[in-house]
Amino acid sequence: MTTPTETSGPAAGAQPDGSSTTEPPKKIEGRSPGRIAWERLKRDRVALAGGAVVILLILAAVLAPVLTALFGHPVDEPHPDQINPDLGLPKGSFGGISGDYLLGVDPTFGRDVFSRILYGARISLLVALGAAVVAITIGVVLGIMAGYFGGWVDSVISRVMDVLLAFPQLLFSIALVSVIPNSVLGLGDTTVRVMVLMTVIGFFGWPYIGRIVRGQAMSLREREFVDAARSLGAGRAHILFRELLPNLVAPILVYTTLIIPTNILNEAALSFLGAGVRPPTPSWGQMLSDAVGIYQADPTYMVIPGLAIFITVLAFNLFGDGLRDALDPKGN
C-alpha cells in the first residue's frame, strides 16, 4: 500500500499567498576603464594623500592674496623692527616665528616668509605646469608621428631626441635667461622670465615623453582597429589623433604627473643659480640661495623653502605612482 506524501504547509519556495521567493538574477554591470582605474586609485591611500596635498598646494598658490591678507603680511613689505640690529637676524627663536609671523621673517629685510612661500608656490607651479604643457604637446605630436610612420621620419625625430637628451640644459638655460631683456612686447621682467623658463624647461623635456609615446604608437599601429580604420579610408591625421591618441591617454597622464615635480626642481635650481625670476619676486630656489650665507646662524630660513620643495615634489611623485598603478591594465 502506497503511503501518501505529506504535504502539510505551503510548497517549498512559495509564500502563503502563492508568490514565489525566487529572486531574479542580478544584472552584470559593465565598468568603464575610467571607473576601474578610479576604484584602483581609491584603494591606494598613499596616492590619495599625495593627490590631496597637490590640490591643497594649488589652492594655496591660487588663493595666495587671500591667505596673505588673512594670515600674513604683504609679500614685499619690510619689517625692520623684526630684525636684531646688532646681529642682522630675526628677533626671537626659529627665524622669528610667532603668532603674527607664522613662518618667521627673512633675515635681510624682515619680510614675511609665509607670504613669500605662498607667492613662491605660484612661480614654481606656474613654471612647472606650463613647461609640462609644452613638453607634452611637442612630445606627443612628434612621438606619435615617429611611431606610426617609422622609416626616415622616425630616424630624424629619434636623432633630434638623442641630441636634446645629450644637450647641457642647465648651462643653456642660464645663458639664455641671462641675456633676455627686461621687457618684451610690453611684458614685464617677471612675465618674460617665467615664459622663458616654461619654454626652455619644456623644450628640453619633450624627448622623454616623446620616446614613451613613440614606443606605444609602434605597438598600436599594427592593431586591428588601426587596420579597420585604414580599410575604411581614414586619413593619416584621423588615425593619429582619433584612433591612436585616445589609447595613449593613460601613459600621457601618468607622465604628466611625474614630469611636474621634475620641472619644479629645475625651476628651483635655475632660481638658486640666479637664472630664475629676479628679486623682489619670491621664488623657493631664490630663498634657498639667499639662505646659503646665513644658514648657520638662521637655519630656519633654509629649512622652510626646502621643506616646501620637498613636500611638493613628494606629493606629486606619490600621486603619479598611484595613478600609474591604477591605469595599468595588467594591475590587480
pLDDT, tens only, 137-191 = 999 999 999 998 888 999 999 999 998 888 887 888 788 777 776 666 667 778 8
289-305 burial code (b ≥16 CB/10 A, e <16): bbbeebeeebebbbbbb
CA angle 92, 60, 55 (to 5 degrees): 130
Report pLDDT for 225.
83
| Cβ-Cβ contacts under 8 Å for 34 (sequence gap 6 or more) | none
206-212 mean pLDDT: 90
CA distance 285 to 263: 12
Query: 196: closest CA among 126, 145, 287?
Result: 126
Residue 5, phi then psi, degrees to nearest 5: -75, 135
**In this structure, what is the dihedral angle of CA atoms 23, 25, 26, 32, given to the nearest 10 degrees?**
-170
Strand, coil or helix: 95: helix
Q: What is the pLDDT of residue 68?
A: 93
Is the pLDDT assigned to residue 117 strictly greater than 90? yes
Task: Indicate the Cα dihedral angle 313, 315, 316, 320, nearest 10°.
Answer: 130
Question: Is 226's pLDDT higher than 90?
Answer: no
pLDDT tens for 8-67 read 444 445 555 555 555 555 555 556 666 777 788 788 899 899 999 999 999 999 999 999
Residue 125, C-alpha cell as written in the block: 607651479
User: What pLDDT does residue 1 have?
Assistant: 47
Of 198-202, 216-220, 232-236, 267-271, least confident by mean pLDDT is: 232-236
DSSP, residue by residue, 16-73: TTS-B-PPPPPPPPP--HHHHHHHHHHH-HHHHHHHHHHHHHHHHHHTHHHHHHHHS-
Contacts of 242 (CB under 8 A, 6+ apart): 229, 234
Q: Which three cell numbers stand for residue 16?
A: 502563503
Selected residue with higher pLDDT from 58 and 245: 58
User: Is the pLDDT at 332 greater than 50, yes or no?
Assistant: no
> Would you give the distance in Å from CA 112 to the centre of its chain?
27
Residue 5 has pLDDT above 60, yes or no: no
Name the 3-class secondary structure at 253: helix
Range scoring the smallest mean pLDDT among 95-99, 209-213, 325-329: 325-329
CA distance 301 to 64: 20
